[in-house]
């Protein structure tokens, strides 16, 4: 069976049938298809072409030059710390920031939340709502990571803690963030997928269509962080929340209706999309 454009409604189906060999996410429309990025290379090019990633990729060069200058085995430790910190940040931002209780009215915070994440749950196959907030990562998260890395490397007795922190961020954390963006695009785009990409899609589908309070990780291997925090999806014990695509809010909540209309033009949310979102 060719499943390249195969979409299903999850309600009433076993989760096994929902995600088995599924190349893309599910939409409200049984006849709709996800944004097509047919191959792994297509998805990598899509991520690399995003403006934030162009900036982030350039910082990897800085990290490589710094690592060459240090010429020390501690470089490996710095990179591993950077990777680990990014996995934790990925989880914490998703769980505690993007999934925070929304404001009671449509203010600037809710507008930002909807554009950054709530709209993505509302319309998971809309590529204009897939995220990619790398520009926020560059000045803010990088600075935080460098400070943390500086302190950690100083604790390990490094003679050049700031340089090692730069290596940890630019060769560890930022490449891991870029792979997160690729994994997220992979989970939502239609196309042929290898075993790793199918695994990423299956794990992320659990978050979107089974329990939005579980599986906050996206990167492969991030399930370790979910297990550590007690939020890994458990098919035996989970209870599917109400209004899963709107993360607990009624689909016709006035705030969501207003936000869908507000971002309709910018994010290509059609009138038909908005009508289906009410059901």
Task: Give the model's pLDDT for residue 138.
Answer: 54
Residue 207 lies in a domain: yes
Task: Give the model's pLDDT for residue 133.
Answer: 57
Residue 273 lies in a domain: yes
Residue 231 lies in a domain: yes
DSSP string, 154-179: HHTT-S-HHHHHHHIIIIIIHHHHHH
Q: For every one of its 279 residues, what pLDDT tens digit does the chain have, with 9 covering 90 and above? A: 333 333 333 333 333 333 333 444 443 333 334 567 888 888 888 887 776 667 777 788 989 999 999 998 889 988 998 899 889 988 998 999 999 999 999 999 999 999 999 999 999 989 888 875 555 555 566 677 777 777 877 777 778 888 988 898 889 988 998 899 899 999 999 889 999 999 999 999 999 999 999 999 999 999 999 999 999 999 888 888 889 999 999 999 999 999 999 999 999 999 999 999 998
Report the distance separating Cα 200 and Cα 219, nearest Å: 7
Residue 12 lies in a domain: no
Neighbours of 22 (CB within 10 A): 18
Residue 1 lies in a domain: no
Task: Give the model's pLDDT for residue 142.
Answer: 66
Residue 135 lies in a domain: yes
Task: Give the model's pLDDT for residue 47.
Answer: 81
Six-digit token string for 21: 């060999």
Beta bridge partners of 190: 36
Task: Give the model's pLDDT for residue 256.
Answer: 97
> Pick from 153, 152, 151, 180: which is nearest to 89 by CA?
180
Domain count, the chain: 1
Residue 262 lies in a domain: yes
Task: Give the model's pLDDT for residue 35.
Answer: 67
Report the distance separating Cα 227 and Cα 85, nearest Å: 16
pTM: 0.82
Report the distance separating Cα 37 and Cα 255, nearest Å: 32
Task: Give the model's pLDDT for residue 269.
Answer: 94
Which domain covers residue 55, as residue numbers? 36-277
Report the distance separating Cα 36 and Cα 271, nearest Å: 22
């Amino acid at each position: 069976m060719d499943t390249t454009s195969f979409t299903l409604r999850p309600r009433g189906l076993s989760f096994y049938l929902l995600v088995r060999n599924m190349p893309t996410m599910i939409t409200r429309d049984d006849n709709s298809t996800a944004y097509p990025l047919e191959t792994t290379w297509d998805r990598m090019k899509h991520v690399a072409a995003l403006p934030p990633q162009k900036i982030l990729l350039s910082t990897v060069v800085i990290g490589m030059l710094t690592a060459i200058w240090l010429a020390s085995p501690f470089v490996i430790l710095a990179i591993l710390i950077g990777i680990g910190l990014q996995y934790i940040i990925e989880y914490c931002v998703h769980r505690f920031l993007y999934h925070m209780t929304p404001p009671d009215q449509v203010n600037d915070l809710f507008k930002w939340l909807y554009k950054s994440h709530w709209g993505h749950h509302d319309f998971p196959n809309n590529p204009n709502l897939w995220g990619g907030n790398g520009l926020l990562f560059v000045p803010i998260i990088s600075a935080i990571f460098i400070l943390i890395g500086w302190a950690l490397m100083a604790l390990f007795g490094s003679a050049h803690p700031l340089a090692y922190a730069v290596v940890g961020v630019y060769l560890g954390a930022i490449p891991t963030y870029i792979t997160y963006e690729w994994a997220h695009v992979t989970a939502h785009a239609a196309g042929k997928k290898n075993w790793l990409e199918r695994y990423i899609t299956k794990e992320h589908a659990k978050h979107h269509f089974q329990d939005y309070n579980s599986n906050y990780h996206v990167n492969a291997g991030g399930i370790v962080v979910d297990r550590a925090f007690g939020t890994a999806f458990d098919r035996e014990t989970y209870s599917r929340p109400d209004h899963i695509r709107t993360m607990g809010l009624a689909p016709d909540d006035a705030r969501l209706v207003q936000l869908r209309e507000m971002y309709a033009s910018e994010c290509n949310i059609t009138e038909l999309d908005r009508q289906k979102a009410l059901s």
